[in-house]
Structure 1
Amino acid sequence: MIDVLICEDDFRIADIHKSLIEQYAELNCIGKTNSIIDTKRMLEENKVDLLLLDIYLPDDIAVKRLGEFRVLRPNLDVIVVSASNHDEHIKKSLRYGVYDYILKTDSLKRLKSSLTSYIKYFHAIEAQQTFNQDTIDHLIYKQQQYEPIKVLPKGIDGITLDLVRHQLMTHQDGLTAEELSEHLGASRTTARRYLEYLIRLKHAKVMPIYGIVGRPERRYFSL
């Protein structure tokens, strides 16, 4: 079992990442933190194999603390999931040997691909007793094959889109645009825009639900 810790100060995104981890039998989410100090405490007190790490945290820029995390857990692997495309953050993360660096602009599908690859990498490196150049190349380059990220249309934000997908997946009886707007803290117009975009992608469907009187209610469901 691969023990995973989520460090993310937005609880909604942390919940999405936890739900994604729970889809894998090989992964075990041991907890969620939202600060450097809590992350260090969890690393001190628990076995952690993989850290999903946001960069911008309330008490510091997390990339500055990668060395401290490694002191606490020398075998720790890190996947950065951040809105930061700052060159120094990316360069420092790569120099500290993070397994992956994923921008939040459209992170969910990309993170799923990375976790799938990481599971294979983790088991391969744990099982390997002797190494030749082929096995070393396989571990270093990980043979990751990511689908190119499509540019999102104007008015569609990647983080909000992930939140909408998550809400649809967790509400199996569907959501109206009004209900979704309450979950997002956004207007009904915004909620409907994201729902209709997911329908165009064939990631959602809409069904009219007829009540006793009045116009039918449009409910959206995940596909």
Structure 2
Amino acid sequence: MTIGVLVVDDDTRVAEINAAYVAKVPGFRVVARAHSAAEALDRIHAAPVDLILLDHYLPDANGLTVVAELRRLDRETDVIMVTAARDVATVQAAMRHGALQYLVKPFTFAGLRAKLEAYAALRRTLDGGGEAEQAEVDRIFGALAAGSVAPELPKGHSPTTAGVVRQVLLTADGPLSTQEIADRAGVSRQTAQRYLKLLEKAGRVRLTLRYGETGRPEHRYAWTRPA
């Protein structure tokens, strides 16, 4: 499954950076860029897209206007707001209009990647169809949640990095090795190991061992449920 993305930002340079970030995440493809509300809607009319990374501050209207128009047209297009707008009223309005997530500028590639991977995991779950028990419903609604990782982080630990490691584990199909987690989080193996030890100590991560024919057993990690 390849997810088509429309990147909307009034700043052409920022749009290019965001598009480059998207292109680095497996399973995602930038289908177009737009720099105004009108241009964004024209792009969507010309060719449907799966996901919009949408700035709020646009020269001719705000991002919520675009979302409202999508809903009026009954377009099956998901939206992640990517904006410097951080007032609670705008965040609340985005939520009520149906934006799946809200990413505040400035952000890192790892931060955006975590959101995109969580969205991809959500799409895989929803595309499966069928009926869902309560646990599955809870997992669907919590797939894009950005909850805290631990009550407190020791000095020298970044909440952003901890959140990215958390999101990698949440969206994984099963336990992952330290190297697999490091690769998906975009950090070094040593950094991943530091955060995994912290999360395991906090009871957020479950460690299992996989034994091979020879050598030391491989450590594998999974997020404990509920998240």
- Cα contact 1:44–1:72 (8 A) shared by 2: no
Aligned partners of 1:32, 1:100: CA distance in 2, in Å? 19
* Equivalent in the alignment of 1:136: 137
Aligned partners of 2:5, 2:29: CA distance in 1, in Å? 6
The alpha carbon displacement at 1:144 in A equals: 4.6
Aligned partners of 1:73, 1:20: CA distance in 2, in Å? 28
Q: 1:137 to 1:25 in 2, by over 3 A?
A: same
The alpha carbon displacement at 1:94 in A equals: 0.9
Q: 1:72 to 1:4 in 2, by over 3 A?
A: farther
* Equivalent in the alignment of 1:103: 104
Aligned partners of 1:16, 1:87: CA distance in 2, in Å? 26
* Equivalent in the alignment of 1:23: 24
> Does 2:115 correspond to 1:114?
yes
Q: 1:50 to 1:143 in 2, by over 3 A?
A: closer
Aligned partners of 2:126, 2:15: CA distance in 1, in Å? 28
Q: What are the superposed Cα offsets for residues 108-166 of structure 1, whole Å, 9 maximum, x if unpaired? A: 3321110111111111111132222111111111065677249xxxxxxxxxxxxxxxx
Amino acid at match of 1:136: V
Unmatched 5+ residue regions in structure 1?
Answer: 151-201, 203-223
Q: 1:35 to 1:123 in 2, by over 3 A?
A: same
Q: Which runs of 4+ in 1 moved over 4 A?
A: 143-147
* Rg (Cα) greater in structure: 1
* Equivalent in the alignment of 2:65: 64
* Equivalent in the alignment of 2:208: none
Q: TM-score, length-normalised on structure 1?
A: 0.62
* Equivalent in the alignment of 2:176: none
Alignment of 1:184-223 (within 5 A): none
Amino acid at match of 2:84: A
- Cα contact 2:41–2:66 (8 A) shared by 1: no
Amino acid at match of 1:31: A
Amino acid at match of 1:89: T
How many residues get paired?
151
Aligned partners of 1:73, 1:43: CA distance in 2, in Å? 12
Aligned partners of 2:108, 2:25: CA distance in 1, in Å? 17
Secondary structure of the equivalent of 2:106? helix
Amino acid at match of 1:96: H
- Cα contact 1:49–1:77 (8 A) shared by 2: yes
Q: 1:19 to 1:43 in 2, by over 3 A?
A: same
Q: 1:144 to 1:95 in 2, by over 3 A?
A: closer
Aligned partners of 2:59, 2:124: CA distance in 1, in Å? 34
Amino acid at match of 2:17: I
Secondary structure of the equivalent of 1:80? strand
> Does 2:50 correspond to 1:46?
no
Secondary structure of the equivalent of 1:59? coil
Aligned partners of 2:26, 2:106: CA distance in 1, in Å? 27
Between the two proteins, what is the percent identity of the paired residues? 25
* Equivalent in the alignment of 2:75: 74
Q: 1:72 to 1:28 in 2, by over 3 A?
A: farther
Q: What are the superposed Cα offsets for residues 141-198 of structure 1, whole Å, 9 maximum, x if unpaired? A: 1065677249xxxxxxxxxxxxxxxxxxxxxxxxxxxxxxxxxxxxxxxxxxxxxxxx
